[in-house]
Amino acid sequence: MADWWDADGRRHRKQFSTSSAAREHEHRETALAHAERASREMKLAVRTGGRKTSQQKKDNGTIESAKGKLGVMIPGMGAVATTFVAGVEAIRKGLAKPIGSLTQMGTVRLGKRTDGRSPKVKEFVPIAGLDDLVFTGWDIFEDNMYEAASNAGVLDYRLLEQLKPFLSSITPRAAVFDHNYVKKIDGPNVKKGKSKMELAEQLRDDIRNFKKTSGATRLITMWCGSTESYIEPTEAHQSVKAFEKALRENDEMIAPSMMYAYASLMEGVPFANGAPNLTVDLPVMLELSRKNEAPICGKDFKTGQTLMKTVLAPAFKARLLGLSGWYSTNILGNRDGEVLDDPGSFKTKEESKLGVLEHILQPGLYPELYGNMFHKVRINYYPPRGDNKEGWDNIDIFGWLGYPMQIKVDFLCRDSILAAPIVLDLVLFLDLAHRCSELRGLGIQEWLSFYFKSPMTVPGLYPEHDLFIQLMKLKNTLRHLKGEELITHLGMEYYDCACVQRAGVAARSIPHASYNRPHGNRKPSSATAGTADPSSPVVLEP
């Protein structure tokens, strides 16, 4: 019995007296089928003047167009938010480039490596254009975006001066704030209400009001507020009913960020969480997100030190190098650093940063290599550095026969410069998810894990932290939405030219050798012998 697949991917089965006859038939038929398909594609290319030659792909689900303005609402108009908004305006004005943004500069490979199809992400999927973005925000301070950006000290004042009229026009709405959750700061621009439910209602009014005044057709909320004190989920977070009761009763376990999330999801607005707070990582928010088809994602932007960790740790595991210790320390002097100087806020951040190694290295599976590792994370507030953080890592590894080695990483980064393109991509991808019939009802958008230190998953599923797995997941999601083949990197088909030639098929007509199994030294079948030109090279790109 032998199976073979025709050019349209249909499976066929045939009975043979010997297994070698079966294999011979299988190879010949498959090679013929691919040659046939290649020839069909070439004819089509001639007819269509060289445009796309493969079969028309069918999208999975529908994606509504990105017509109209996209309103971006940001609780927390600090360093990250202002660097993002100023950056978008600078790019719109042609003053700078969107470096670091996958949606703006990234490409996605389609089909075989030999196909030469790598469109830009923004041309492949219908994401909103930068010109369509409009902004609003909330903050406990009254500074407009220009003043807040100047205070943050991230961007050069000469650039900010050129953006001043635009940035000054974005003034903060009064915030919902609770000093118990962010102990190091206090400000005057805060809403008042008898209950947390009343405050959440005021946020919902803000959202409706912004939609009306800005003329936006769609909205996104992006939490860029300070890191709140560490708490664990309670009964109040388990369902919408319990949460609403807790809002009415002023339950202290409801943090301000949760009220923004509740208000957004109630208004059907997607919500992304850039901080490590629980916020949307709660059963109540998943319930609301699914019910109102407003996608959610989080937590904690993956920018500097953790980005490096999720690149290096997979390399150690890939090479089965052991790890005995990883000591990470940071110095930073911006307001975020000041907030994180409080033990409650630091604990929230620490939890988010610590989870990464455990999940990547899987000590349960590799006890001799990772069963006894010591992992420590410190963040030190050091004002002279401002937003220019230094993330320093000492890594103790061991190799063959247990011999120890050390690696030192010293990343002198700019926190908000790394975070701003992440914010942009999240805004655009979350809006895409919201317009996509296949994604909008899922709740958590795990394909956006790429951007987070502590990616959200449905309960019971461990998160993927490896940066390259996350990127593959993201790009495969885009391919899937557009009905393109997923890329598995199996790649055996590239090594099939010998089979194709032996089968006697005109190898030159095959733009890429497409067959799925290398095989031994077999003679060509008489049925097809003589039609191939064995001297003609089949060019196989790496």
Ligand X SMILES: NC(=O)c1ccc[n+]([C@@H]2O[C@H](COP(=O)([O-])OP(=O)(O)OC[C@H]3O[C@@H](n4cnc5c(N)ncnc54)[C@H](O)[C@@H]3O)[C@@H](O)[C@H]2O)c1
Residue numbers 271-290 binding ligand X by CB under 6 A: 274-275
Residue 76, interface with ligand X (CB under 6 A)?
yes
Least distance from ligand X to the Cβ atom of residue 79, Å: 4
Residue 126, interface with ligand X (CB under 6 A)?
no
**Which segment (171-179, 231-239, 480-488, 498-506) binds ligand X by CB under 6 A?**
171-179
Least distance from ligand X to the Cβ atom of residue 167, Å: 15
Residue 261, interface with ligand X (CB under 6 A)?
no
**Which segment (17-25, 155-163, 329-337, 475-483) binds ligand X by CB under 6 A?**
329-337
How far apart CA 446 and CA 462 sit, in angstroms, is 11
**Which segment (176-184, 210-218, 378-386, 513-521) binds ligand X by CB under 6 A?**
176-184
Residue closer to ligand X, measured from CB, 185 or 540:
185
Residue 182, interface with ligand X (CB under 6 A)?
yes
Least distance from ligand X to the Cβ atom of residue 307, Å: 10
CA distances from 374 to 308, 396, 528 (A): 18, 9, 64
**Interaction mask 133-152, ligand X, x per CB under 6 A:** -----xxxx----------x
Size of the site for ligand X (CB under 6 A): 36
120 - beta bridge partners? 107
How far apart CA 296 and CA 285 sit, in angstroms, is 8
How far apart CA 275 and CA 222 sit, in angstroms, is 10
Least distance from ligand X to the Cβ atom of residue 289, Å: 20
| CA dihedral of residues 482, 483, 487, 488 (deg, nearest 10) | 140
∠ at Cα 393 (391, 394), nearest 5°? 160
Given candidates 144, 221, 226, 310, which one binds ligand X under the rule CB under 6 A?
Answer: 226
72 - beta bridge partners? 135, 220
Given candidates 175, 222, 430, 478, which one binds ligand X under the rule CB under 6 A?
Answer: 175
Query: Residue 383: CA atoms inside 13 Å, Cβ hemisphere, count?
Result: 0
Residue 309, interface with ligand X (CB under 6 A)?
no
* Residue position matching structure tokens 């010997």: 18
Tell how far CA 162 is from the center of its chain. 31
How far apart CA 532 and CA 498 sit, in angstroms, is 11
Residue closer to ligand X, measured from CB, 345 or 477:
345
Residue 301, interface with ligand X (CB under 6 A)?
yes
Using N-to-C axis directions, what is the helix angle for 305-318 and 343-361, rounded to 10°? 20
73 - beta bridge partners? 136, 221
Least distance from ligand X to the Cβ atom of residue 75, Å: 4
Residue closer to ligand X, measured from CB, 89 or 415:
415
Size (the chain), residues: 542
Say how many C-beta atoms besides its own lie within 10 A of residue 343's C-beta: 11
Q: Which residues contact ligand X by CB under 6 A?
A: 75-81, 138-141, 152, 175-177, 182, 185, 187, 224-227, 256, 274-275, 300-301, 303, 334-336, 339, 415-416, 418-419
